[in-house]
Structure 1
Amino acid sequence: MNAYILLAISIVSEVFGSSMLKATNGFKKIIPSLGVIVGYGIAFYGLSLSLKMLHLGVAYAIWAGLGTALTALVGVTIYKENFNGKKLFGLVLIIGGVIFLNIDGVH
Structure 2
Amino acid sequence: MRAWVQLVFAIGVEIAGTSLLKLSAGFSHPFIGMAGMLLYGLAIFSFSRALSRIPLSVGYAVWAGVGTAVTGLIGILLFGEIMTAIKAVGFSAIIVGVILLNAPVKAPTNEATVRQSRWRTRVNR
Answer whether TM exceeds 0.5 for this pair: yes
Residue 48 of structure 1 corresponds to 48
Q: Deviations over 1:20-70 (max 9, x none)?
A: 121112112023212211220111011000011011111011001100000
1:55–1:105 contact (8 Å) kept in structure 2 = no
Q: CA RMSD in A?
A: 1.8
Aligned equivalents of 2:77, 2:23: Cα separation in 1: 14
Distance across 1 between alignment mates of 2:61 and 2:98: 6
Identity %: 36
**Does structure 1 residue 7 correspond to structure 2 residue 1?**
no
Specify the alignment match of 1:66 in structure 2. 66
TM-score, normalised to structure 1, is 0.91
Residues 97 and 33 from structure 1, CA distance in 2 versus in 1: closer, same or farther, beyond 3 angstroms?
Answer: same
Provide the TM-score with structure 2 as the length reference.
Answer: 0.79
2-side partners of 1:33 and 1:105: how far apart? Answer: 42
Higher relative contact order (CA 8 A, sep 6+): 1
Instruction: Spell out the pairing of 1:1-107 with structure 2 (5 A cutoff).
Output: 2-104=2-104
Report which of the two structures shows the higher radius of gyration computed on alpha carbons.
Answer: 2
Question: Residue 122 of structure 2 corresponds to which residue in structure 1?
Answer: none
| Stretches of structure 2 lacking an aligned partner (at least 5 in a row) | 108-125
Moved over 2 A (4+): 104-107
Gaps of 5+ in 1: none
